[in-house]
Amino acid sequence: MSAVLERFLRYVKIDTESDRDSKTYPSSAKQLDFLRLLADELRQIGLSEVNMDQFGYVTATLEATTNAPAPVIGFIAHVDTSPDFCGKDVKPQIVENYDGGDIILNAAEQIVLSPRRFPDLLKYRGETLITSDGTTLLGADDKAGVAEIMSAMEYLRAHPEIPHGKIRVAFTPDEEVGAGVEHFDVPAFGADFAYTVDGGEVGELEVETFNAAGARVYVRGRNVHPGTAKGVMLNALRIAMEYDALLPVFDRPEHTEKTEGFFHLMLLKGEVESAQMEYIIRDHDDQRFQSRKALMQSAADYLNRKHGETVVELTLKDQYYNMKKMIDPHPRIMEIARAAYEALGIEPRVIPVRGGTDGSRLSYMGLPTPNLFAGGHNMHGRYEFVPVCALEKAVQVIVRICELAAAG
């Protein structure tokens, strides 16, 4: 079993699910348990300056093996798994020599991973795949990235004949709840640029993300006996439905792709007296992003005018911005990554991310940070899988980036 596979199988069994409603940082204490384990492992493989700070960030240094001038490169991955689907008690399954057919994840619950629904599976005939048992997510987002960075550092440490400059490593909590680098000390990290290892299938190279905001909509109703409700009752549930109906139907995730933005209703709960909705707002284009937020405010204002009182309160909070404008002025970063892919026979596919990474915020904090593939498919759900060959190729890419950057 390869080192990266062994690590990945071990890591995904550790529950690190983040908590969107938590007021602490990190949002769940169990992330700290894994981060401490990673700090110990970094020391064991011989990295220096291993540190875990008060926020849980684990950083370390792989010292340079060359005296030639070379940039200080960072590699970053997050340890938490999505709170949108169960990440506890993950039971990884190994599917060897995949034959292109259905994969029974869980016979008792009739959960099947099928190429009819997920045609990307057919790219991996003959390969070894890792899945969950269908009752949880797998956690390749982003424990694949964690395992790949760790394995690449171990390999470079064991092969000092490979010339490379100083390398910095960071493992972060809470990326999945939008707070991954909220307290990250970029100057102390000391990298000239970095790469997150948090992307999808082999070949993806991402420099463009959404602009992102979160929205909370609170609806205040008025409950009276339905028999005497005429002209008096305000049904918060119906007002919430009315609010959602004011947003464009085809600007939803299920109807959009590529660089098309969306409004995504993530939560709706309540009763006649009050209701609450939570949305995320996404768009690659700055102007359209601002227009989307303005439309949500206009919808709230309209309903308040209609009902003659404040029945809808909207709170908007920007989460991150498109990192492309911060990375484009530094073309060498992408040139090195492209060259590493091509040297390994991997065709770089520079695509816009329909999501975000820690690199989005880091790039605006002064650390240009594009995103490398980590190899996973179908993130955040029971049908997640990762090919072992992708884990291994990601390790090779990290090693080659370090080597190429030192070559000038």
3-state SS track over 109-131: CCEEECCCCCHHHHHHCCCCEEE
Last residue of a domain, one of 298, 319, 340: 319
pLDDT at residue 34, rounded to an integer: 98
Residues 245, 101, single domain; the answer is no
Residues 250, 295, single domain; the answer is yes
Catalytic residue among 175, 206, 242, 403: 175
CA atoms of 325 and 406, how far apart (whole Å): 26
* 3-class DSSP state of 281: strand
- Residue type (1 letter), 70: A
Spatial contact of 131 and 103, defined as CB atoms under 8 Å apart: yes
Residues 27, 54, single domain; the answer is yes
Residues 95, 124, single domain; the answer is yes
CATH number, domain with residue 347: 3.40.630.10
Question: How is residue 246 written in tokens?
Answer: 């004011």
Compute the residue count for the chain: 408
Residues 217, 196, single domain; the answer is no
Containing structural domain, residue 235: 211-319
pLDDT at residue 357, rounded to an integer: 85
pLDDT at residue 7, rounded to an integer: 98
Active site residue 286: no
Q: Give the model confidence (pLDDT) of 61-83 as tens digits.
A: 999 999 999 999 999 999 999 99
**Number of domains observed in the structure of the chain:** 2
Last residue of a domain, one of 280, 301, 319: 319
Residues 255, 375, single domain; the answer is no
Q: Count of CB atoms within 10 A of residue 72's CB?
A: 17
Residues 174, 93, single domain; the answer is yes
Burial of 338 from C-beta contacts in 10 A (0-12 / 13-18 / 19+): middle
pLDDT at residue 355, rounded to an integer: 80
Spatial contact of 344 and 303, defined as CB atoms under 8 Å apart: no
CATH number, domain with residue 313: 3.30.70.360
Residues 392, 256, single domain; the answer is no
pLDDT at residue 408, rounded to an integer: 74
Residues 74, 204, single domain; the answer is yes
Question: Which residues lie below 8 Å from residue 306, measured CB to CB, with a gap of 6+?
Answer: none
H helix intervals, 308-387? 324-327, 331-343, 358-364
Active site residue 19: no
Q: Which element (helix H / strand E) includes 278? A: strand 274-283
Residues 239, 354, single domain; the answer is no
Nearest to 28 by CA among 142, 223, 225, 176: 176
Residues 107, 217, single domain; the answer is no
Spatial contact of 219 and 236, defined as CB atoms under 8 Å apart: yes
DSSP assignments along 216-244, one per residue: EEEEE-B---GGG-TTT-B-HHHHHHHHH
Q: Which element (helix H / strand E) includes 298? A: helix 286-307
Q: Count of CB atoms within 10 A of residue 407's CB?
A: 12
pTM of the predicted model as reported, rounded to 2 decimal places = 0.90
Last residue of a domain, one of 285, 319, 353: 319
Handedness of CA 310, 312, 313, 318 (dihedral sign): negative
Q: Count of CB atoms within 10 A of residue 201's CB?
A: 17
Place of tokens 């071990």: 10
Q: Give the model confidence (pLDDT) of 364-391 as tens digits.
A: 999 999 999 999 999 999 999 999 999 9
From first to last of its 408 residues, the chain has per-residue pLDDT tens of 699 999 999 999 999 999 988 999 999 999 999 999 999 999 999 999 999 999 999 999 999 999 999 999 999 999 999 998 999 999 999 999 999 999 999 999 999 999 999 999 999 999 999 999 999 999 999 999 999 999 999 999 999 999 999 999 999 999 998 889 999 999 999 999 999 999 999 999 999 999 999 999 999 999 999 999 999 999 999 999 999 999 999 999 999 999 999 999 999 999 999 999 999 999 999 999 999 999 999 999 999 999 999 999 999 999 899 999 999 999 999 999 999 999 999 999 998 988 878 999 999 999 999 999 999 999 999 999 999 999 999 999 999 999 999 987
Strands 312-320, 211-220: pairing kind:
antiparallel
pLDDT at residue 259, rounded to an integer: 92
Question: How is residue 244 written in tokens?
Answer: 């959602």
Residues 313, 327, single domain; the answer is no
